[in-house]
Structure 1
Amino acid sequence: MTPSAPRRTRLSREARAAQLLDVAERLFASAGFEGTAMEDIARAAGVTRPMVYAHYATKDEIFLACVRRARAELEARIREPEIMIEAGAGAPAVIERAGTVFFEILERDPARWMVLFNPSTALSKELATELTAMRQRTIARIADLTRHFATFDEERNTAFAYAISGVGEQLGRWWINNPDVPRSRVVEHYRDFIVGGLALP
């Protein structure tokens, strides 16, 4: 009697959508937006291309879903330094905690971080606009944080928030290329660059 082949587990719609995001995220991180096709996602996920399209109608749509998932985690973790400010913590401690949150995400899941901070210039206008809007919402929350401990006017406070975002992103790219540096030291750099370079009290 010939043994029967193992039955493939049928995933729920929600589980399949999450699996496709996981696969797409890895591909976008390694090959970039331009270098990833829907066919690549289907092949890597072990499903047909129509199955991918049944969940995500376009490559823009699945990429946007990947970014939304990653940014939702970042937004949730921003609550930690917000709580510290509510408790009366000073700027250096708050910035250090914010850096720890940010670089923990990168350390745990570099692919997700790389998709979140995708540098591609080949995005459609609609996708680029949506990604910019999401990033600006995060920067607005950073600006809300800095209002509690910076004595800047509104223009400078907004510029300060953009600078903090830029420091984190560029320092993260440096760390990816220098993985032997421990996270604690990367966080120290982040804290010191912001506190010292922007002359926070």
Structure 2
Amino acid sequence: MAEPPAAAPRTRLSREARNAQLLDVAEGLFAERGFEGTSMEDVARAAGVTRPVIYSHYASKDEVFLACVRRARGELEAGIREPEIMIEAGASVEIVMERAGEVFFSLLERDPRRWMVLFNPSIALSAELSERLVAMRRHTIARIAEMLGHFSAGDEEANTAFAYAVSGVGEQLGRWWLANPNIPKARLIAYYRDFITGGLTAWQAAAPD
């Protein structure tokens, strides 16, 4: 009788590669089941490792989720740099907001799971985790407010308020697109651009001299 073929040797991942794999797996689970519906055991099983391997990277589920969000927000903020450069070069608000929409919705198009984790609506988060996520979001909002300052005569408070509105427009349009994927991305970007530039124009017109 012929000998059965030898099992292929298992490839041992570097710590960096293993960490990336764990985040990819956790990201998918969080997007599918939500934060409260995902356990460390789920992550370990889906990644094909034991729980001690997970705990050698992250001390808790909160830390895993935080790392997933930090990675997604880092990708989003890296994309913000291009509109910032366009502003520095003197581009109009319409052109800048169209490019910002392209950056934002391309992230959703490329990886819906990552976008869903980034804009996770769960209320089952610990107070500490919520605070850390809010701090990251505020950092992004501050960069948007700084960009808006180039197009408005508003003070810091007004620019920050409008930056939150800009962020909300993008998030809600993104949720709408997820529910209606037949809508062309170009049309979504046009809505985003027009809503924001229209609002900014009206805001500027209403500002006291």
User: Which TM-score tier does this pair reach, normalised by the shorter chain?
Assistant: over 0.9
| Aligned residue number for residue 158 of structure 2 | 156
- 1:110-165 residue CA offsets vs partner (Å, 9 max, x unmatched): 00001011111110111000000000000000000000011222221111101000
Does the alignment pair 1:27 with 2:29?
yes
* Aligned residue type for 1:189: Y
| Aligned residue number for residue 103 of structure 2 | 101
Relative to the length of structure 1, the TM-score reads: 0.97
- 1:63-120 residue CA offsets vs partner (Å, 9 max, x unmatched): 0000010111111110000010011001111111111100000000000001011111
Displacement of 1:186 after TM fit? 0.5
| Aligned residue number for residue 77 of structure 1 | 79
* Aligned residue type for 2:197: V
Instruction: Choose the corresponding residue for 2:15, options 13, 16, 21.
Output: 13
Residue 47 of structure 1 aligns to a residue in which SS? Answer: coil
Does the alignment pair 1:146 with 2:145?
no
* Aligned residue type for 1:96: E
1:63-74 equivalent positions in 2, closer than 5 A: 63-74=65-76
Identity %: 71
Structure whose alpha-carbon radius of gyration is higher? 2
Residue 201 of structure 2 aligns to a residue in which SS? Answer: coil
- In structure 2, distance between residues paired with 1:5 and 1:52: 25
Instruction: Choose the corresponding residue for 1:192, options 167, 191, 194.
Output: 194
- In structure 1, distance between residues paired with 2:51 and 2:157: 48
| Aligned residue number for residue 36 of structure 1 | 38
Displacement of 1:2 after TM fit? 2.7
- In structure 2, distance between residues paired with 1:136 and 1:120: 18
* Aligned residue type for 2:156: E
- In structure 1, distance between residues paired with 2:197 and 2:4: 70
* Aligned residue type for 1:139: I
Displacement of 1:22 after TM fit? 0.2
| Aligned residue number for residue 117 of structure 1 | 119
Residue 199 of structure 1 aligns to a residue in which SS? Answer: helix
* Aligned residue type for 1:137: H
Instruction: Choose the corresponding residue for 1:136, options 138, 143, 157.
Output: 138
TM-align CA RMSD: 1.0
* Aligned residue type for 2:155: D
Displacement of 1:196 after TM fit? 1.5
Runs of 4 or more, structure 1, over 4 Å off, are: none
Gaps of at least 5 residues in structure 1 are none
Displacement of 1:169 after TM fit? 0.6
- In structure 1, distance between residues paired with 2:157 and 2:143: 15
- In structure 1, distance between residues paired with 2:61 and 2:72: 17
Relative to the length of structure 2, the TM-score reads: 0.93
* Aligned residue type for 2:25: V
